[in-house]
Structure formats: C-alpha cells, structure tokens
Amino acid sequence: MARSNVARRYDRIAWLYDFMVDRFFSNLRPGLLDGLEGEVLEIGVGTGNNFPFYPHDLHLTGIDISSKMLSRALLRAHELGRDIDLRLMDVEEMSFPDRSFDYVVSSLVFCSVEDPMQGLREVSRVLRENGELRMLEHVRSARPWLGSTMDFLNPVARLIGDNINRRTLLTLEEAGLEILSNESQGSEILKKIRARNVTTQP
Ligand SMILES: C[S@@+](CC[C@H](N)C(=O)[O-])C[C@H]1O[C@@H](n2cnc3c(N)ncnc32)[C@H](O)[C@@H]1O
C-alpha cells in the first residue's frame, strides 16, 4: 500500500490527536454503537476513541491507514482489556472478502478519505446484505449560504487538514447504501447516520 499524504499527516499528529480533536466530539460517541452485534468493522479507528462504547459480545476488527494512530489504538485496546483485530489498511482497498461484516462503523473519517465514493463502495462490498453502516461525520451543510461558504473555504481547510464540504449523504446513496436515519447536530454539519446495504450479491 502506497503511503498517502493522509497517512503521513495522521502519523505526524497522532500524539496530539486526542487533545486536539477528540475532546470536541467525545459527547457524541455514546449512542452511536448501541445494539451492535456479530462481526463489526470500524474503519479509520484512529486512536481507538470509540472502543469504550462498544458492547462486549461482538467481534471487532479495526483498520486505519496511519500506523501511528493504529499503535495508539492497540495500546487503548490493551488498556481496556479488549481483544480487537487491528490492521493497517486503506478503506479504499480492503483485503476482506465480500459480505464479511454485519456492521461497519466510521467516525470523522470520510472528510479525509481521498476518494470517498471508492471508500463507500468498499464498505458496501464488505457489508452483508442488509448490514448496517453507522456514521458520525461532518459534512457540507445543507443550508445554502453555509454550504457555499464551506465550498469557498475548502481549499484553505485542505491545506491544514481535511475536507469540510463532503456531500456524504449523496455519496452513500450512489454507493448503494440506503439511508435509514440522519440526525443533525448543529447547523446540519455534524451528522449521525445509519445506512443499510441494499446491494445484492453479484
Ligand atoms: C479524524 S480521525 C478519526 C479517528 C477516529 N475514527 C475518531 O473518531 O476519533 C480520521 C482517521 O481516519 C484515518 N483514515 C483516513 N483515510 C483513511 C483511509 N483511506 N483508510 C483508512 N483509514 C483512513 C486517519 O488515519 C485517521 O486515523
């Protein structure tokens, strides 16, 4: 796997991530993972901030493109005494067989995935039919003036970090995922989304 700019950026900030980013989102994590069971994949696990909120009776696999973020996730899993299968992998090119998972989880990931359509197609491939994707993501606001401002500012945002104008709801549908619920937090930017895989096996 070629080391992308995204991997390099997250390798650089791994030591700072929890202080810099996570504290703003920690209150949104509970509830995202309620009712999960079976085979679960978390993509872009980062430093493992969702690990404490997973129910215990499931088998969790986690991937990330940044080895430094993943090392922190490994430490967190040990601290919590959880057995999590952690792998260095790009969501755009996953090595799991088709239909491997009952649930896929992503939080704050699709702002940085280089090709979100390819990433979501892969999610749809590895999810079982009717399997569910749970997301906590920031997206382009549906409010016209705010959405346009986000488009205008995106090149600057990309210079220092991630995209701020991703149309994730549209991309989900194009990738064969049916949106079951879409809960907005503040200015329709932060979203908790549940989507079901409606693609049928080839
Ligand atoms: C903002 S962090 C979010 C981390 C964690 N999900 C959380 O909620 O705290 C984004 C994470 O996605 C990972 N990531 C970005 N693009 C990825 C890709 N193509 N494949 C796998 N992981 C990716 C980054 O390395 C980083 O760890």
Per-residue pLDDT tens for 75-103? 999 999 999 999 999 999 999 999 999 99
Determine, yes or no, domain membership for 111. Answer: yes
Determine, yes or no, domain membership for 93. Answer: yes
Determine, yes or no, domain membership for 109. Answer: yes
Q: Which domain holds residue 138?
A: 5-197
Determine, yes or no, domain membership for 9. Answer: yes
- Residues in contact with 5: Cβ distance below 8 Å, sequence separation at least 6, in sequence order: none
- Cα 36 to ligand 1 centroid, rounded to whole Å: 20
Nearest CA to ligand 1 atom 12: 44
How many domains, the chain? Answer: 1
Determine, yes or no, domain membership for 83. Answer: yes
Alpha helices, DSSP H only, in 15-160?
17, 23-25, 67-80, 116-126, 144-160
Determine, yes or no, domain membership for 24. Answer: yes
Determine, yes or no, domain membership for 202. Answer: no
Please state the pTM of the whole predicted model.
0.94
Q: Could you tell me if the CB of 46 is within 6 A of ligand 1?
A: yes
pLDDT band at 31 (very low <50, low <70, confident <90, very high): confident
Contact 33, 56 (CB under 8 A): no
Q: With 50 as the cut, is the pLDDT of residue 1 above it?
A: no
Q: Could you tell me if the CB of 120 is within 6 A of ligand 1?
A: no
Report d(CA 66, CA 6) in Å as an integer: 8
Token digits of residue 130: 């009717």
Determine, yes or no, domain membership for 182. Answer: yes
The CATH number of residue 30's host domain is 3.40.50.150
